[in-house]
Structure 1
Amino acid sequence: MTLSGMDPVETEFADRVAIRCADGSLIFRYGLMIGLLLLSLLVACPAKADITPPNPDGPTIVTVDMWIDDINDINLSSGTFDLTAQFGMRWNDPRLAYDSEVDRPRIWMSSRAEQQLKSIWYPVLDVSGEKGLSSARVYWLAIWPNGDVEIREKFTAHPRFDGELHYFPFGSLDLSMALSSAAMDNKQVWFELGELTPKDDLQAVDRILHGNWYPTEVNWSVSAQPGFAHSKRSFAQIDLNILVNYDAHDGVQKVLLPLIVIALVSWGLLWIDLTFQAAYTSPRIGGTTTLILTTIALKFVLNRELPVVHYFTLSDVLFNTTIIMLSVSLLASCLIVGLLVDGKPEPAKRINILVRRYYAVAYVLLLLVSIPLFIG
């Protein structure tokens, strides 16, 4: 006995199982065959497609608003920053229109809004090129009688910034973030820019921008970006760009001023006469060694604020030049002490005079040569 639509293998399997049953019940046999038939239908039938966009004749226009709440943790080591913003979208879906005596929307809040979004069409956005995954929370969803749909959500993203920091601690960055349609191309969805706040008021932008940076320009635009290499589709994308400059006063205080002081102190140590104390008690050798360790420690302390890039920056040249000149000063002092211990005071004095006289000049010349050589 077989059911229509079942293959012989399924029928044979059902018969074997039924024979092994103690009572050989006919109901059991039919129930088993029906279950196998339903299982085969579930496997054979394709999954139902997602909800289609409301406009079948062209792209659905989605108006986008953004209110930036916070920009922080501009991390030069990882090349990322954190941005928190409220995001609003508006579009029209005639399929959701309803009759109402008053012109006011139906509103769903928080988790109820997220649940309601599962039953309607809405654009899904993705933050392109970010580190990790962004997090978003839906605040509310409103549907008007004419089918207009509004959604407000808050999200935090970790985009990667662009910029050349050759002359760090002087320089600028482009804090850019790209929001693109995750699945539907520009023939199905297109974005229209609404309100971006703050934008023209740079003082308001500076209040939400944390760290040693100040804003110079904020703008956004819509573009069509190609998909994967094997795909011929293009996707609508919102490009947000916040141009910021590094606070030069902070760079002077944290990098330039300490290194200038270290260089001057190292030059001052060269004027200590090595003939008035034993070599092992010389403050000139001990002081120079301390300055070398201090410079290395300073670079480690500022490691988070120094950019990790594949090229030399001004701060790298300053630190490396200072360490090289301190090492030269230490070696020269050790050589002079060695000559004095060997009873050769005249060569020691000549070397000492040369080091005192040309140390500062050599330091400046090395900087002038290194900056265009490694940064230009």
Structure 2
Amino acid sequence: MKIKIISFFTIFFTLFFSNSSVGLDSPNHLVKAKVLFNEIYDINISEGQYKVSVELLLSWDGDIDLFLKKFSDNVVHGEKLDNFLKEIWYPEFLIFNAENPRTTHYQTLNVYDGKFQLFERFESELTIDADMPQYPFGNLNLNMDILAFSGNVNLMEFVPEEIIIGHNNDQDFNHKVIKGNWELDEKKIRASQMKSLNHGGERFSVLISNINVKHNFVNSLFIVLFPLFSIVILSLVINNYCPMKFDGSADWRIGGQMTLFLIVPALKFALSSELPVTHYLNFTDLIFIWATLIISFGLILGILGNYYVLKKDVNRLNLSESLAQKFLPISAPLIFAAILFYVFI
């Protein structure tokens, strides 16, 4: 009989403490989250920032009877919403990577499917790690980190449900969500945890939305790459078809290379509003440097060739002409290939 009693209490306490430990490990509130991006605009690689217009829907279990007694199944907002939120627990958050506090357009609260649903539409200016060395090719990650601050992970935790780009209906068919010369490549949403100085370094739940966009390189192809390739080809043509052994070639040779040399910085200045200014050399920067180097060597060899003609130094003239007409046409594509290897591989 004693053995049975001891076994009974052993099983009872084991079940009790196992249930208690589960209760301690799991958060009191699991907050399901849906994120919808209405607009993504002013993507600025130079400043490392972009702007968003977002709709956020949070749902969680709570004392819905109190809400139903006061408002039935109505949707509340404004002063009614503010007063009711003072009576209950609800998920409070901030945009962790925002430059300034978000601008809230409106909030609503209702009960749906036995859960509270808090809806908010807001705008915010966000910071990003704008590393895009392959610009205008490659991808850029636009992240939005929503950090909970109404309780640590023991009190609340985000449960990501869905990330949506624009309203999928006929009225928004022509609405471009991602503004500018960008298009969607990938989207994902996940939850994580972050340590805070608050409460002695406790962990708080973070909802991370990642919008991966790629630059539409067709526009850059016509305004950057095509003009630069044309300038380099013209420089090589001038070297080959204006040899110094003919009278009058020096004016064409040196004058033409000088003109092309000045066109390159003028083109970069004209496109300054289109091209990002970064702390690293991106693909576009390297292409401008490449074009400048090829034209500079052509100009220097032209000046030296004219000098050797005046000095009647045939051997050095032949050497400079050989460099201009054989070395540069070979080295130009090789240097360009090295740039491609450096940036993309």
Q: Give the shorter-chain TM-score range.
A: 0.7 to 0.9
Give the match for residue 35 of structure 1: none
d(CA) in 2 for partners of 1:301, 1:229: 49
Give the match for residue 272 of structure 1: 242
Question: Which of 87, 96, 106 is the equivalent residue of 1:138?
Answer: 106
Give the match for residue 335 of structure 2: 366
Opposite residue 65 of structure 1, the aligned amino acid is K
d(CA) in 1 for partners of 2:28, 2:271: 50
State how 1:42-191 maps to structure 2 within 5 Å. Answer: 58-94=27-63, 97=66, 100=69, 103-105=72-74, 107-109=76-78, 113-114=81-82, 117=85, 120-142=88-110, 149-162=116-129, 165-191=132-158
Quickly say closer, same or farther: Cα 1:65–1:152, change in 2 above 3 A.
Answer: same
- Give the conservation status (yes or no) of the 8 Å contact 1:80–1:161: yes
Opposite residue 165 of structure 2, the aligned amino acid is P
> TM-score, length-normalised on structure 2?
0.76
d(CA) in 2 for partners of 1:223, 1:370: 38
Between 1:178-187 and 1:362-371, the stretch displaced more is: 362-371
Opposite residue 168 of structure 1, the aligned amino acid is Y
Opposite residue 276 of structure 1, the aligned amino acid is D
- Give the conservation status (yes or no) of the 8 Å contact 1:77–1:305: no
Quickly say closer, same or farther: Cα 1:182–1:102, change in 2 above 3 A.
Answer: closer
- Give the conservation status (yes or no) of the 8 Å contact 1:91–1:150: yes
Shift of 1:179: 0.5
- Give the conservation status (yes or no) of the 8 Å contact 2:190–2:209: yes
In structure 1, the gaps of 5 or more residues are 1-56
Question: Which of 304, 308, 317 is the equivalent residue of 1:348?
Answer: 317
Shift of 1:238: 0.6
- Give the conservation status (yes or no) of the 8 Å contact 2:64–2:111: no
d(CA) in 1 for partners of 2:173, 2:93: 27
Structure 1 residue 312 and structure 2 residue 281: aligned?
yes
d(CA) in 1 for partners of 2:308, 2:208: 67
d(CA) in 1 for partners of 2:205, 2:180: 32
- Give the conservation status (yes or no) of the 8 Å contact 1:71–1:82: yes
Quickly say closer, same or farther: Cα 1:68–1:339, change in 2 above 3 A.
Answer: same
Quickly say closer, same or farther: Cα 1:343–1:70, change in 2 above 3 A.
Answer: same
> TM-score, length-normalised on structure 1?
0.71
- Give the conservation status (yes or no) of the 8 Å contact 2:94–2:148: yes
Structure 1 residue 328 and structure 2 residue 300: aligned?
no
Give the match for residue 253 of structure 1: 222
- Give the conservation status (yes or no) of the 8 Å contact 2:48–2:130: no
Q: What is the percentage of aligned positions where both structures have the same residue?
A: 22
Quickly say closer, same or farther: Cα 1:94–1:327, change in 2 above 3 A.
Answer: same
d(CA) in 1 for partners of 2:327, 2:68: 90
d(CA) in 2 for partners of 1:108, 1:366: 63
Deviations 1:3-32 (A, max 9, x none): xxxxxxxxxxxxxxxxxxxxxxxxxxxxxx
Question: Which of 285, 290, 301 is the equivalent residue of 2:259?
Answer: 290
Shift of 1:180: 0.9
Opposite residue 125 of structure 1, the aligned amino acid is F
In structure 2, the gaps of 5 or more residues are 1-25
Which of structures 1 and 2 has the bigger CA Rg? 1
Opposite residue 152 of structure 2, the aligned amino acid is D
d(CA) in 1 for partners of 2:87, 2:72: 23
| RMSD (Å), alpha carbons | 3.6
